[in-house]
């Protein structure tokens, strides 16, 4: 028979270990602040070929944009018909792929001209989009990521995202950075860093205080938008209707 005290001790250790790991949270340091159009309801942000691209949502205001990072000026813009609420954005070759929230339709554009080349259909909601060089990776507000064939848009794999066994829902804007998937969790100041192999949240970045509440235009003006420039190793974050884009470095938690 195992003595009760031993069981108690082991349980305590387990609790301590899981508590300690659940609490390990990264913070951030702002490297530089750039202006951003405060009317841009950011749903997707990315660097491709040295250019900064953005997808903005809201019905009647959705667009695809190319921004000048330094001045915040919009250099190029395509406005979507008013029945579409644009969502996640990914670059694939010379194309840009943009999701819509509930219309079950995705748009494929020529990256340089923004000419609409084709559309595709999907059965679920469109939230975040990124790619890992092999597949498109899509979120739909649930705890699942879908890996899609970038040519046929067929779902190849579905991966549940969990933090210590608990499903993490509301996964929104996505960015694939150095072998991991970064995901904004909707309505929070947190970004989950996810293993694309097993769906485990490896780390959390807590971006609380990045844009103070007084500078946020209402409850929908949440953190959303992660862009990584692989050429310069710079990481940028912004939010919906945020007047700024922040270049940050992640400060590892203890
Ligand atoms: N989603 O990005 C989480 C998928 C959808 C966000 C929808 C927010 C609706 C806001 C309506 C605000 C009107 C000013």
* Average of per-residue pLDDT across 207-228: 96
Entry pTM: 0.91
Inter-residue contact 193 to 206 (CB < 8 Å): no
- In this predicted structure, what is the pLDDT of residue 7? 44
Span 110-130, pLDDT tens digits: 999 999 999 999 999 999 999
**What is residue 12's predicted lDDT score, i.e. its pLDDT?**
37
Read off the tokens for 78: 């395509």
ipTM for the whole complex:
0.94
What stretches of the chain show up as alpha helix (H) in DSSP? 4-23
CA of 171 to the centre of ligand 1 (A): 14
What is the band of 24 on the pLDDT scale with cuts at 50, 70, 90?
low
Residue 96 token pair: 């840009």
Residue 8 pLDDT greater than 90, yes or no: no
Dihedral Cα 146, 149, 153, 155, nearest 10 deg: -40
Long-range pairs for 205-210: beta carbons < 8 A, 24 or more residues apart: 205/25, 205/26, 205/27, 205/28, 205/250, 206/25, 206/26, 206/27, 206/28, 207/28, 207/237, 207/248, 210/28, 210/30, 210/237, 210/246, 210/248
41 C-alpha to center of ligand 1: Å?
9
Place 254 in a pLDDT band, splitting at 50, 70 and 90. Answer: confident
Q: Six-digit token pair at 214? A: 């007084």
Q: Which ligand 1 atom is the nearest neighbour of the CA of 125?
A: 4
Rounded-to-integer distance, Cα 61 and Cα 206, Å: 30
CA of 132 to the centre of ligand 1 (A): 26
Q: Is the CB of 186 under 6 A from ligand 1?
A: yes
């Amino acid at each position: 028979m195992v003595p009760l005290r031993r069981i108690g001790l082991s349980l305590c250790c387990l609790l301590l270990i899981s508590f300690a790991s659940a609490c390990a949270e990264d913070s951030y340091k702002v490297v530089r602040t750039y202006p951003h159009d405060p009317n841009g309801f950011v749903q997707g942000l990315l660097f491709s070929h040295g250019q900064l691209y953005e997808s903005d949502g809201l019905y009647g205001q959705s667009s695809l944009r190319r921004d000048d990072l330094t001045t915040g000026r919009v250099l190029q813009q395509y406005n979507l018909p008013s029945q579409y609420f644009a969502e996640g954005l990914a670059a694939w070759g010379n194309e840009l792929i943009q999701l819509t929230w509930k219309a079950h339709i995705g748009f494929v554009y020529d990256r340089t001209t923004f000419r609409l080349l084709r559309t595709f259909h999907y059965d679920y909601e469109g939230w975040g989009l990124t790619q890992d060089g092999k597949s498109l990776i899509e979120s739909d507000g649930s705890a699942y990521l879908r890996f899609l064939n970038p040519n046929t848009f067929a779902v190849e794999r579905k991966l549940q995202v969990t933090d210590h066994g608990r499903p993490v829902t509301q996964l929104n804007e996505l960015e694939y950075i150095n072998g991991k998937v970064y995901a904004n969790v909707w309505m929070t100041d947190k970004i989950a860093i996810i293993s694309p192999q097993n769906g485990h949240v490896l780390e959390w970045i807590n971006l609380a205080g990045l844009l103070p509440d007084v500078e946020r235009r209402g409850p929908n003006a949440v953190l959303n938008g992660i862009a990584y420039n692989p050429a310069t190793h710079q990481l940028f974050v912004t939010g919906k209707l945020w007047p700024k884009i922040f270049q940050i470095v992640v400060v590892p938690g203890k």
